[in-house]
A and B are shown apart, each in its own frame.
Chain A
Amino acid sequence: MPIAETYSSSIPFWALVVSLLATPFILWSSRRPNLREFWTLLAAVIKFALVLTLLPGVREGRVAEFVLLEIAEGIELSLRADAFGVFFAVIASGLWILTSFYSIGYMRGHHEKKQTRYFASFAVSLSATIGIAFSGNLLTFIIFYEMLTLATYPLVVHSENREAIRAGRQYLAYALTAGLLLVAGAGWIYQMTGTLDFTPGGVLEEGMLSASGMRVLFFMLLIGVAVKGGIMPLHSWLPAAMVAPTPVSALLHAVAVVKSGVFGVVRMVGFVFGPEVMGAYGLSTILAVFAGITIVLASLIALRQNNLKRRLAYSTVAHLSYIALGAALLNADGFTGGILHISTHATMKITLFFCAGAIIVHLHRENVTDLDGAGRAMPWTFTAFAIGAMGLTGLPPINGFLSKWFLCMGSLDAGAWAVLGVLLLSGLLNAAYLFPVVYRGFFCFSNQFEGKGEASPFMVVPLTITAVLSIVFCLFPNVLFGLFDLASAVADSVLGTH
């Protein structure tokens, strides 16, 4: 097991709290929107910069560690910026900058109310996300996980109508139940091992529990994280939460919140249970079965959704399970592919949601069947959408191809033909539910959007950037931030290979 060299540094802490510190400023400048958005952007840029300063260390295999205080007897509130944490933090904080710009365009263009609450909650959510990324142990993880639940609740109920409040209740019911299971599971692990630290290769060992005990524990923790990760049958809050404003769907319900869930799944598999225990008790098979079923079913349901955001939500559900599936393969390629999919799906799906939001604000259309000819009015937006759609399908040269390639290699490595079949079938289904949007936009003729130009540059620029990023990440996976190396480093640390 390669032991990473650790050094003490407060950077993870500051990267976490910068957006929390911005929250009071955001609240205080509620009457001056430009100043208020300035705080958001400032916090986003500083956060991203701080996360980037952690990159060189991580690439050399060094881990920044910061212990805040002892949070419960024997357990510290510790932040550890290891390769996996930094990987996730780079994506979440980097995309937050783009989403902030996009939010300004969207919220103002859509004349949304309560924008102060919106931007404040968003900032807290990002703090919680970075906290999850950098959590050094399970209790710290739980603390930020619950914080994320609470911070995103105001965003889900944003419009305050009956549908939103119902979605909010559903979200709380799912997420808080999951959180409690996590707490109970963490208590069990602490009772057995005396530690909750995330350790590459896991803290649990064979023989600590009976086979059924180990499965119960696995289910408790898996349900705890799988709710946010949208693994079926725990996914139904996610489509309902699409009542939130589109930037929320884009960053939180395609990247930060849901990826925290699958990030948690990978943490559980690789850093709590460990590959040996996962394999020995058949836990990886359980995970793979749930993930595989989710991928196929969610894609089939997505086919039937006419509301564009809901279609994308089901697509998110399916793609989140790619990541869990990759982890369940328990080999280097599978892990690398799964972790890479966190970043590749992030850029692609955020592009798609940005496009959907631009369409809502600019053309006031939410349904796929109403989009005939829209691509001619908004060529940039629909080109970006096409890139995202191709990426999710797994076509080169878009980064979805990259992660999918490694996932397929991993499944061949593991001899799991069923997994390979699921991945290939899902690619076809992706094409079936995403390409009609592009087709209608560009090739169905209608003059309903005559005279409508592109949406505001606040929206078009970010979505173009994310689309371009999707291509760049495929062609040069290491040129920006060395994400590919990080992903394989995580896989190596977990599996103990070099």
Chain B
Amino acid sequence: MTDPWTHLAVGILLPPFFGALVAALFPDRRRNGAWLAAVVSSGLTFAASLGGLAYAVIEGPVRYHLGGWQPPMGIELVMDPLAAFFCAVVTGMTFFVFIHGRSVVERETPHKAVPFYSAALLLLGGLLGIVLTGDLFNLYVFLEISSLAGYALVAIGDRRAPVSAFRYLILGTIGASFYLLGVAFLFMETGSLNMNDVAEVVPVMGESPATLAGLVLIVLGIGLKMALFPMHGWLSDAYTYATSTATAIIAPIGTKVAAYVLIRTCFHMFDPEFVRAEIPLADILGYLGAAGIVWGSIMAIAQNDLKRMLAFSSVSQVGYIALGVGLASPYGLIGAVLHTLNHAVMKACLFLVNTNLHQRLGHTRIDRLDRTTRIRMPWTMAAFTVAAISMIGLPPTAGFFSKWYLVLGSWEQANYVFLGVIVISSLLNVVYFFRVLEKVYLRSDGEAYDDASEREDAGVRREEVRASMLFPTLFLGASLLVLGLANAYIVIHVIRPMIPAGL
């Protein structure tokens, strides 16, 4: 008799797929039903993920054989602390964005609401499948599900969206093909598609050029999905031209799941020593991450559109995760995993702020923001401020602590390049966030704030977005402070158990 709680592994996976089906059944005039299906199913899977995380941390990893078929023939779901943690991050962010999204979708793309929610749930289900599966080919299937849903979501946007979606599709397909090719190589060498089997066979077989090629191809394909520099070209357009809610769903979680696959492949399926020593794959990942951090930040400074700025900032933040993975050490992994969570929350919060601004102002151009923005939407801008401080990485917000662990990891290996990059990128972050903060909090025409501006300000009415949009924004903003203060707890109780023995 197996412990009934182990069914949580599949319990995480089912709600989004069922939800996607249910949502698609609603006719256009009852599109609120589709929204409800999205909220309920993402809420359920969020709850299941949290339960699964608690179970995996307390009781240890769960290996769940779908349909009772034994691997390597059957498909295995693996819910260990790492997987459950990523599930919780992904589902949590989606849940809050769904709550926030109803009136936004209603305003931006009212008659596409039903397919929108359905596709979004498919995306969520696909991503969760990638995280949970223990089978390399099954991962490819889920990768395609999530990618196809993602292309559809991106394409529901403004006039330029289909083109950027097409570009995303081409590059995404290339990435997936690389991945598939890599899996084929590994299958030929090891005779198994089960990750656990592969992990056991590879050390026995010894390295062979084919195994190496397989690993490199997988990392390359996933790197493309992750928007790892210099394979990030698709990201900025896709994020910019999609609808606000679509971006808010994809941006915080899409690249994170790719990062998860990277961690799985490099540290669980292969021996970390192998990844570090046999070929300098870890170093390459780390340095590409470092380059992405700097490049993304510089490009973010150059943008005039808030959404595009945030998109480039994502390129930079994904670089932190790659840098942590590239350190291939406990501190590096702690930094990378913690930053996944922190960045998901920060980015979700920032994109919700972006959506709120778009809702009220009708644009998100930075040069047209001024201090009336803050007077009209004080709470939204407060959330923005907290998220910006966290992005810069100032204590006691969450962003500081993931950087702290990365700094420790860099010192451990005496990698001064990484240290320098972390320091410089924080300063670049200061530039592009304070540029916005200056505009919305201060008088921007060079004159002193005087009686006239006070009268002007008094004439501006407060028009904060509705509570259903404001609450998720503020909740995410506030949780950045909580995550910052509670980071030691998360690291010790949740992330430490994830660290594979080889590190």
Please indicate the chain B residues that have their CB under 8 angstroms from the CB of A177 in the complex: 423, 427
Cβ contact within 8 Å between B404 and A72: yes
* Cβ distance B450 to chain A, nearest Cβ, rounded Å: 7
Contact of A114 with B488 at beta-carbon distance under 8 Å, contacts A160-B442, A184-B419 already known? no
Cβ contact within 8 Å between B446 and A157: no
Cβ contact within 8 Å between B449 and A183: no
* Cβ distance A66 to chain B, nearest Cβ, rounded Å: 15
Q: Is A387 an interface residue (CB 8 A)?
A: no
Cβ contact within 8 Å between B449 and A113: yes
Cβ contact within 8 Å between A146 and B395: yes
Cβ contact within 8 Å between A142 and B450: no
Cβ contact within 8 Å between A190 and B408: yes
Q: Is A143 an interface residue (CB 8 A)?
A: yes
Contact of A187 among B389, B394, B411 (CB under 8 A): B411
Cβ contact within 8 Å between B394 and A71: no
* Cβ distance B489 to chain A, nearest Cβ, rounded Å: 7
Which residue, B401, B407, B410, B454, has most C-beta atoms of chain A within 10 A? B407
- Would you call the interface of chain B mostly helix, strand, loop, or mixed? helix
- Give Cα distance in the complex from A12 to B383, angstroms: 30
Contact of A70 among B426, B441, B448, B489 (CB under 8 A): B489
Give the nearest-CB partner of A159 in chain B: B448
A-B contact count (CB 8 A): 98
Number of interface residues of A (CB under 8 A): 38
- Give Cα distance in the complex from A143 to B454, angstroms: 34
Please indicate the chain A residues that have their CB under 8 angstroms from the CB of B407 in the complex: 183-184, 187
Q: Is B463 an interface residue (CB 8 A)?
A: no
Give the nearest-CB partner of B434 in chain A: A172
What 1/0 mask marks residues of chain B from 16 to 41 whose CB sits below 8 Å from any chain A CB?
00000000000000000000000000
Please indicate the chain A residues that have their CB under 8 angstroms from the CB of B491 in the complex: 72-73
Contact of A143 with B396 at beta-carbon distance under 8 Å, contacts A72-B401, A150-B389, A184-B419 already known? yes
* Cβ distance B414 to chain A, nearest Cβ, rounded Å: 9
* B window 443-457: CB within 8 A of A: 443, 446-451, 453-454
Which residue, A69, A150, A173, A187, has most C-beta atoms of chain B within 10 A? A187
Which residue, B392, B410, B448, has most C-beta atoms of chain A within 10 A? B448
- Give Cα distance in the complex from A159 to B404, angstroms: 35
Cβ contact within 8 Å between B396 and A161: no
Cβ contact within 8 Å between B488 and A71: yes
Cβ contact within 8 Å between A114 and B449: yes
- Give Cα distance in the complex from A270 to B442, angstroms: 41
* B window 370-429: CB within 8 A of A: 389, 392, 394-396, 400-401, 403-405, 407-408, 410-412, 419, 422-423, 426-427
- Give Cα distance in the complex from A151 to B428, angstroms: 20
Please indicate the chain A residues that have their CB under 8 angstroms from the CB of B489 in the complex: 70
Give the nearest-CB partner of A169 in chain B: B434
Contact of A159 among B392, B449, B492 (CB under 8 A): B449
Cβ contact within 8 Å between A191 and B411: yes
Contact of A176 with B442 at beta-carbon distance under 8 Å, contacts A142-B395, A160-B449 already known? no
Which residue, B404, B405, B450, has most C-beta atoms of chain A within 10 A? B404
Q: Is A147 an interface residue (CB 8 A)?
A: yes
Please indicate the chain B residues that have their CB under 8 angstroms from the CB of A73 in the complex: 334, 405, 488, 491-492
Which residue, B395, B412, B419, B422, has most C-beta atoms of chain A within 10 A? B395
Cβ contact within 8 Å between A184 and B423: yes
* A window 74-111: CB within 8 A of B: 75
- Give Cα distance in the complex from A421 to B366, angstroms: 55
Cβ contact within 8 Å between B408 and A191: yes
- Give Cα distance in the complex from A172 to B448, angstroms: 20
Cβ contact within 8 Å between A70 and B423: no
Q: Is B138 an interface residue (CB 8 A)?
A: no
- Give Cα distance in the complex from A113 to B443, angstroms: 12
Give the nearest-CB partner of B392 in chain A: A176
Contact of A161 with B408 at beta-carbon distance under 8 Å, contacts A70-B488, A72-B401, A72-B487 already known? no
Give the nearest-CB partner of A71 in chain B: B488
Cβ contact within 8 Å between A180 and B427: yes
Q: Is A200 an interface residue (CB 8 A)?
A: no
Q: Is B430 an interface residue (CB 8 A)?
A: yes
Q: Is B485 an interface residue (CB 8 A)?
A: yes
What 1/0 mask marks residues of chain A from 182 to 205 whose CB sits below 8 Å from any chain B CB?
011001101100000000000000
Contact of A143 with B395 at beta-carbon distance under 8 Å, contacts A70-B488, A187-B408 already known? yes
- Give Cα distance in the complex from A187 to B327, angstroms: 15
Cβ contact within 8 Å between B492 and A113: no
Q: Is A179 an interface residue (CB 8 A)?
A: yes
Please indicate the chain B residues that have their CB under 8 angstroms from the CB of A191 in the complex: 408, 411-412
Please indicate the chain B residues that have their CB under 8 angstroms from the CB of A143 in the complex: 395-396
Contact of A146 with B394 at beta-carbon distance under 8 Å, contacts A72-B404, A187-B408, A187-B411 already known? yes
- Give Cα distance in the complex from A165 to B446, angstroms: 8
Contact of B447 among A157, A161, A183, A188 (CB under 8 A): A161
Contact of A161 among B334, B419, B426, B446 (CB under 8 A): B446
Cβ contact within 8 Å between B446 and A181: no
Please indicate the chain B residues that have their CB under 8 angstroms from the CB of A161 in the complex: 443, 446-449
Q: Is A32 an interface residue (CB 8 A)?
A: no
- Give Cα distance in the complex from A159 to B449, angstroms: 6
- Give Cα distance in the complex from A190 to B394, angstroms: 19
* Cβ distance A205 to chain B, nearest Cβ, rounded Å: 18
Give the nearest-CB partner of A111 in chain B: B451
Contact of B394 among A150, A154, A184 (CB under 8 A): A150
Cβ contact within 8 Å between A69 and B488: yes
- Give Cα distance in the complex from A157 to B441, angstroms: 10
Please indicate the chain A residues that have their CB under 8 angstroms from the CB of B412 in the complex: 191
Q: Is A498 an interface residue (CB 8 A)?
A: no
* Cβ distance B482 to chain A, nearest Cβ, rounded Å: 12
Please indicate the chain B residues that have their CB under 8 angstroms from the CB of A190 in the complex: 408, 411
Which residue, A164, A165, A184, has most C-beta atoms of chain B within 10 A? A184
Chain A to chain B contacts (Cβ below 8 Å), 23 pairs = A71-B487, A72-B404, A73-B492, A113-B450, A143-B396, A146-B394, A146-B400, A157-B438, A159-B449, A161-B443, A161-B446, A161-B447, A161-B449, A162-B446, A169-B434, A172-B434, A173-B427, A176-B427, A177-B423, A180-B423, A187-B410, A190-B411, A191-B411
Given A72-B405, A72-B488, A180-B427, 20 extra CB contacts under 8 A:
A69-B488, A70-B488, A70-B489, A72-B491, A75-B488, A147-B395, A160-B448, A161-B443, A161-B448, A165-B438, A176-B394, A176-B426, A177-B423, A179-B394, A183-B403, A183-B404, A183-B407, A187-B408, A187-B410, A187-B419
3 pairs of A and B residues whose beta carbons are closest in the complex: A162-B446, A70-B488, A187-B407
